[in-house]
């Protein structure tokens, strides 16, 4: 554990008082959910109350299973009255990751994604870490708080997911946090969460992917067209990376008047975050890590570049802006 962690937890606590109503805003995925759980535990009995709110629609079966099995209470952001809270915290994101987050007056930002120039009275952004859950595990240990089995399981699952079972971006700090959490987590519960990744109604997207995919020397490009949730693109992209000959999986879909593009690779001499930013950064939000990244573009900003009603043209446009960038240098 870094010697600076005790100082950071002290400064973190300095942001709050016993009269605070705290709002934690997340883009719900395993790392974000677990990190929000940890912040809530850190603030237990130190503030009046803590509310965790998600800005995205949660449809992924593993995320739903995590929330249910770990007993996490989340409130959709549209039901939140922000002015009722005296402190606002973001974990596993930064303001430029989402329009709703950009409008918030933030007191605390804790994240592991690349720095975007975010400002807040308390800021802890560590792009070299594999998961935000690792940072929060360090905070818990510095505060001498032993995590409950459910909290440890959530953090364990968050690190496991965001490091792609330690095949993706990983630091020794991630490994140390994982080893510590392993001693306190309910591994059977963690496996139950991990296995809950499919529903019957999602199988149709696998059919679309198999019928419409384009393959180029180990690279798979897929445009799913309209999807009920962008997380489906993540599910499909991760699925294709399980095929031993696939080195890149690039999957897109349209939801809530936005085009979402998910990038996955095998991590060998590749940089998904750079590909996403260089290829699509000028159209919308884009970036990520070496082996996983995403781009999100409003359809209104896309219409002048490609006919968004034509799935084949959208896919060709994505390939055109991606193909030369996914070759190892």
pLDDT of 328 higher than 60 = no
CA dist., res. 282 & res. 264, Å (int): 20
Reported as a pLDDT band with limits 50, 70 and 90, residue 326 is confident
| CATH for 287 | 3.10.310.30
Q: 244-272: per-residue pLDDT in tens? A: 999 999 999 999 899 999 999 987 788 99
Q: Is 286 helix (H, G, I), strand (E, B) or coil?
A: strand
Instruction: Say what the pTM is.
Output: 0.71
> Domain end: 135, 163, 195, which one?
195
In this structure, are 116 and 213 located in the same domain? no
pLDDT for 115: 85
- Count of C-beta atoms within a 10 Å radius of residue 101: 21
The mean per-residue pLDDT over the stretch 197-212 comes to: 89
Higher per-residue confidence, 326 vs 3: 326
pLDDT for 168: 67
pLDDT of 171 higher than 90 = no
Find out whether 329 and 269 touch, Cβ atoms under 8 Å.
Answer: yes
| CATH for 46 | 3.90.1640.10
In this structure, are 67 and 176 located in the same domain? yes
Reported as a pLDDT band with limits 50, 70 and 90, residue 206 is very high
Among 9-18, 115-124, 192-201, the range of highest mean pLDDT: 9-18
In this structure, are 49 and 190 located in the same domain? yes
The mean per-residue pLDDT over the stretch 296-300 comes to: 94
In this structure, are 42 and 168 located in the same domain? yes
Report H helices in the chain. Answer: 5-14, 30-42, 61-70, 99-102, 132-142, 149-162, 172-182, 187-195, 203-212, 231-240, 272-280, 299-302, 311-322
> Domain end: 172, 195, 218, which one?
195
In this structure, are 128 and 226 located in the same domain? no
pLDDT of 329 higher than 70 = no
How many domains, the chain?
2
The mean per-residue pLDDT over the stretch 18-47 comes to: 97
pLDDT of 31 higher than 90 = yes
Q: 108-144: per-residue pLDDT in tens? A: 999 998 888 889 999 999 999 999 999 999 999 999 9
In this structure, are 221 and 253 located in the same domain? yes
Q: 68-89: per-residue pLDDT in tens? A: 999 999 999 999 999 999 999 9
Reported as a pLDDT band with limits 50, 70 and 90, residue 1 is very low
Domain that includes residue 246, residue range:
202-325
pLDDT of 212 higher than 70 = yes
**What are the angstrom distances between the C-alpha of 83 and each of 21, 22, 51, 105, 156?**
10, 11, 13, 10, 33
In this structure, are 116 and 218 located in the same domain? no
SS3 sequence of 226-253: ECCCCHHHHHHHHHHCCCCCCCEEEEEE
Q: 174-189: per-residue pLDDT in tens? A: 999 999 999 999 999 9
pLDDT for 23: 98
pLDDT of 2 higher than 70 = no
In this structure, are 211 and 191 located in the same domain? no
> Domain end: 157, 173, 195, which one?
195
Among 37-41, 103-107, 170-174, 325-329, the range of highest mean pLDDT: 37-41
In this structure, are 178 and 221 located in the same domain? no
pLDDT of 238 higher than 80 = yes
Q: What is the mean pLDDT of the chain?
A: 92
């Amino acid at each position: 554990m870094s010697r600076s962690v005790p100082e950071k937890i002290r400064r973190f606590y300095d942001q709050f008082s016993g009269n605070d109503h705290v709002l934690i805003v997340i883009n719900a995925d395993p790392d974000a959910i677990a990190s929000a759980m940890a912040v809530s535990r850190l603030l237990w009995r130190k503030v009046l109350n803590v509310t965790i709110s998600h800005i995205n629609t949660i449809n992924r079966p593993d995320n739903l299973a995590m929330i249910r099995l770990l007993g996490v209470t989340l409130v959709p952001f549209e039901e939140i009255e922000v002015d009722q809270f005296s402190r606002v915290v973001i974990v596993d994101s930064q303001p430029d990751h989402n329009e709703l987050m950009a409008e918030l007056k933030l007191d605390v930002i804790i994240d592991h994604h690349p720095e975007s120039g975010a400002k807040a009275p308390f800021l802890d952004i560590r792009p070299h870490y594999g998961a935000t859950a690792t940072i929060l595990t360090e905070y818990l240990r510095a505060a001498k708080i032993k995590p409950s089995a459910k909290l440890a399981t959530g953090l364990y699952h968050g690190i496991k997911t965001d490091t792609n079972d330690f095949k993706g971006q990983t630091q020794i700090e991630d490994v140390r946090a994982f080893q510590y959490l392993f001693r306190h987590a309910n591994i059977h519960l963690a496996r139950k969460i991990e296995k809950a990744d499919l529903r019957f109604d999602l199988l149709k997207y696998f059919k679309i992917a198999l019928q419409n995919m384009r393959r180029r020397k180990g690279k798979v490009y897929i445009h799913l067209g309209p999807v009920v949730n962008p997380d489906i693109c993540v599910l499909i992209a991760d699925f294709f990376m399980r095929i031993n000959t696939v080195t890149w999986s690039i999957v897109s879909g349209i939801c809530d008047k936005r085009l979402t593009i998910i990038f996955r690779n095998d991590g060998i001499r590749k940089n998904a975050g750079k590909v996403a930013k260089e290829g699509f950064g000028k159209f919308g939000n884009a970036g990520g890590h070496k082996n996983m990244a995403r781009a999100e573009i409003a359809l209104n900003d896309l219409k002048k570049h490609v006919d968004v009603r034509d799935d084949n043209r959208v896919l060709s446009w994505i390939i055109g802006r991606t193909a030369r960038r996914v070759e190892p240098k």
